[in-house]
Amino acid sequence: MDLDITILVIGLNHKTAPVEIREKLAFKNSSLHPLEKLKKEVSSFKEGLFLSTCNRVEFYFILERNQKNRFLTDFFSFIENESSFKWKDLEPHFYFLENEKAIKHLFEVACGLDSLVIGEPQILGQVKSAYKEALNYRTSGIVLNRLLHKCFSVAKKVRTETGIGGGAVSISYAAYRLAKKILGSLKDKVVLLVGAGEMAELACMHFVSEGVKKVLIANRTLSKAVELAEKFRGEAYSLDELLNALIKADIVISSTGAPNCIITKNMIASVLKPRKYKPLFVIDIAVPRDVDPEVNNLENVYLYDIDDLKSVVEKNLKEREKEATRAKTIIEAEVLKFQKWLKELGFYPTLRALNEKAEKLRQKELAKTFKKLKNLSEEEKEAIEILTRSLIQKLLYYPINFIKKSYHEEGKYAISLIRQIFELDEPFKEISDEDLNVLSCEIDKDIPSDSQNDSSKNFNSKKVLIQ
């Protein structure tokens, strides 16, 4: 059966767009979360999720199938309004993935197969944060909820059953390897980390394990810098003291979430003389970038941004390629399972309507019975509740099983038949005793006489009992 929805991924990453474009679409300058803005400005989507990392900006949408063209028109206008680019200039950098390809892409992203550093574990945490934001802004519904939970279980399975996460490989590790490649031994070097987030902490771990002379941490919130400095026996600075820290440093790793550059050409130029013009290596792993690209024009100052890390990362890929192949096999199987669930979404409204109608009838009949049998104890009432609920479940087993068995072969016919038989598309109405008596008489005509007498006695005795 064809899906009535489209799962759509629209995104760009380190493979399709340079950092100058990715940073313009990271939404760091916006006072509103992109999901909040999308809800106000683009109404033609059912569910949505926004994922922004150092290496990618991606939107995941659930659309009504017939709304796709209208949605894309609105979305392109939204992107133009939020960036300084025209859509025709951005379009070559974007990828569009639908349904099966979209599901597979999300699973590969969460498992680290689509990362700059293959198998990096940080991306899973970023996907989880993106999902929390979608829940917070109420843009995640039945499909995205199921898809994201499946995504997390797939990532866990891949980590457990393959060696894709083996070795300390991440963007922070790549920055550390680049510094080591440039300077050789780091034992007499002072490292300045600008930013005290997860990236900075990971970088700290790598540099401290190499035995650097000292670690300096500068951060907008001084308390966070102090906390990280205490953990690694370093020195803490506020961003107001950044010049003092730059004078002492040999290597600068910057990874803040600032919307604009915090390390300017003039700032670096002003510390060159106090540093006695010693070489300064600056590695900017932030998106948007923290360091003005003009810094690279200063004498004895060497600037590398996140795209420059690719050459370091490529050396680590061979170790994980075999494990990535195994991971992709697991992902393929899980994509098929999710697609099966997705196809079955078509009959869930019918199952729900069937259960709701049966429950309404049960509750109304119970109310009439309890009203007539006023002397029932609570235990007896509970026993009747259990009996009627069990009876309803067993009777509904047959139509539900019919739908599930016939769904993939008969498609909409199975759904239509059940909806007609149980009048699920009609306003709810009680079945009158007169209708039941007429139906009973019609049934009795087709029953042999001996059975008919027994049946009539049973029916009448039950009717008397109820009255």
Domains and CATH numbers, the chain: 5-161 (3.30.460.30), 171-313 (3.40.50.720), 346-466 (no CATH)
Q: Are 245 and 216 in contact (CB under 8 A)?
A: yes
Q: How many CB atoms lie within 10 A of CB 295?
A: 22
Q: Are 11 and 48 in contact (CB under 8 A)?
A: no
Separation of alpha carbons 300 and 280, rounded Å? 6
Pair of tokens at residue 308: 């420059």
- Going from the C-alpha of 30 to that of each of 13, 27, 33, 37, 291, the distances in angstroms are 20, 5, 7, 10, 20
User: pLDDT at position 232, please?
Assistant: 87
Positive/negative CA dihedral, 295, 218, 248, 181? negative
Pair of tokens at residue 436: 């039941």
For the question of residue 54 being annotated catalytic, the response is yes
Pair of tokens at residue 380: 């007896």
Name 263's bridge partners.
291
Determine the length of the chain: 467
Pair of tokens at residue 124: 């899973």
User: pLDDT at position 275, please?
Assistant: 92
- Going from the C-alpha of 229 to that of each of 209, 216, 242, 244, the distances in angstroms are 15, 7, 15, 16
User: pLDDT at position 198, please?
Assistant: 79
Mean pLDDT by groups of 10 residues along the chain of 467 residues:
77 88 77 86 89 90 87 90 84 93 95 84 90 93 93 94 72 80 86 86 83 92 91 92 94 89 95 93 90 94 87 71 89 92 75 86 89 89 92 88 67 72 77 68 60 48 39
Q: Are 282 and 263 in contact (CB under 8 A)?
A: yes
User: pLDDT at position 189, please?
Assistant: 92
Query: What backbone torsions phi and psi does residue 64 show, to the nearest 5 degrees?
Result: -65, 135
User: pLDDT at position 80, please?
Assistant: 86
Positive/negative CA dihedral, 334, 337, 341, 343? positive
Closest CA to 282 of 205, 178, 199: 178
Separation of alpha carbons 434 and 439, rounded Å? 9
Whether this model's pTM surpasses 0.85: no
